[in-house]
Amino acid sequence: MPTTMRFVIIGFLFLSALPVAAGKCAQTFYQSSKSVGKSAPTTELVHYEDNRVSMACTYTIEVYGEAAQPLAQIVNDALDEVDRIDRLMSHYKSDSPLSQLNRQASQKPVFVSDELFDFLAECLRYSRASDGAFDVTVGPLMKAWGFFRGEGRMPTDSELATARSNIGYQHVMLDPERKTVFFAQPGLELDLGGIAKGYAVDRVVALLKQRGITRALVSAGGSTIYGLGSPPKSAGWEIKLRDPLHAEKSAFSVWLRDQALSVSGSYEKFFELHGKRYSHVMDPRTGRPVPGVLSVAVLSDTGTAGDALDNVFYVLGLAKSRRVLATFSASEVFFFVPAAQGRWRLERLRKPSLISRGTR
């Protein structure tokens, strides 16, 4: 049995306090006697944690179950599912179906699997609903700004013009009968990085449910987290949101129970030039990084929705997000925006209205 190790939640992008080597897994496996609810009899539960580097981040899965359940195998299978999604949807892997699609779809309609087709259809629904604030064809912009395999740079006017001419979700043609994808605009390519991690979280949650797991925390590097049920003797899974200006501090906690939290922050990847910060969060409509926002966190029913909507609300900004919140599936949105004297201000949106404000 592996040595017992315990993970510490220290911010939504730093769920594990332990170093994880690429391709390796850190595990926790121990038993504890927990009382599930006030009137429930004492039940011996097994707590198991494991993680794996996949999709350019560390996926961490924490579960509680009965001693008779093969928790280690269940969690390993769940992590294998993440790897499967990565092999399907990665635009970094040249042999993935998505990369093959990017190479061929501007020349002819390309047949894809039902899973990839349905996922792309959902992506386009978010694009249409947000008027292009979310756009999976943003790849050329990410490359022009140096955020594809890099830390960012200022593009030339010519590079930016070329990139902008090669994006637009409207040019992605889906044929539901033939399950084919065609790019009506040459130079178009798909980048699912803004939503695929959330989809992988949902796939893991579905697998855990199928295997009889009712208490689990699934994290895609902290960018999308799903709390299935709750830990013993708790109303939910406590997640501490990171202070957007101070990595060592947390802003406040949220509690997840059958709900997802997704976060997009300007601090994840950025560069500075002439005293101005340029982050990796792009507005596909302007072709430029979004200014005036530090981070956005979204509570939603699924990881897929949250992963898409943290981008949508980040790009739309506070004022417009307040107006359109009711049209999306998010239940609550947290905006961290710059305030005076190097501080940040929290704006909390909840259906149907803004419910609280604060300054930190």
* Structural domain ending residue among the three candidates 183, 214, 235: 183
- % of the chain beyond a pLDDT of 90: 71
Beta strand 282-283 with 353-359: parallel, antiparallel or unpaired? unpaired
314-331 confidence digits (pLDDT tens): 999 999 999 999 999 999
Confirm whether 67 is domain-assigned.
Answer: no
Six-digit token string for 306: 């949250």
Q: Evaluate if residue 3 carries a pLDDT over 80.
A: no
Confirm whether 81 is domain-assigned.
Answer: no
* Listed residue (63, 78, 74) closest to 32, CA to CA: 63
Lowest mean pLDDT among 9-23, 93-107, 135-149, 205-219: 9-23
Angle between helices 114-129 and 303-324 (to 10 degrees): 10
Confirm whether 113 is domain-assigned.
Answer: yes
Confirm whether 199 is domain-assigned.
Answer: no
Rounded Cα distance, 260 and 237, in Å: 11
Confirm whether 257 is domain-assigned.
Answer: no
What are the angstrom distances between the C-alpha of 269 and each of 18, 143, 149, 281? 22, 13, 11, 9
* Listed residue (237, 219, 250) closest to 346, CA to CA: 250
Lowest mean pLDDT among 40-44, 67-71, 147-151, 222-226: 40-44
Mean pLDDT on 194-221 = 97
* Structural domain ending residue among the three candidates 129, 153, 183: 183
Rounded Cα distance, 151 and 268, in Å: 10
What sign does the dihedral 177-180-185-189 (CA atoms) show?
positive
- Residue 56 half-sphere exposure, CB side, CA atoms within 13 Å? 15
Are 36 and 67 in contact by the 8 Å Cβ rule? The answer is no
- Residue-number span of the structural domain to which 127 is assigned: 97-183
Rounded Cα distance, 143 and 154, in Å: 11
Confirm whether 112 is domain-assigned.
Answer: yes
What is the pLDDT at residue 351? 78
Confirm whether 330 is domain-assigned.
Answer: yes
Are 24 and 178 in contact by the 8 Å Cβ rule? The answer is no
Q: Evaluate if residue 168 carries a pLDDT over 70.
A: yes
Confirm whether 205 is domain-assigned.
Answer: no
Confidence label for 150 from pLDDT (cuts 50, 70 and 90): confident
Q: If you average pLDDT over every residue of the chain, what do you get? A: 86
Are 58 and 51 in contact by the 8 Å Cβ rule? The answer is yes
What is the pLDDT at residue 18? 29
Provide the 8-state DSSP code for 302. Answer: S
Number of folded domains that form the chain: 2
Rounded Cα distance, 302 and 122, in Å: 13
* Structural domain ending residue among the three candidates 138, 153, 183: 183
> Which CATH number is 109's domain given?
1.10.3980.10
Q: Evaluate if residue 358 carries a pLDDT over 50.
A: no
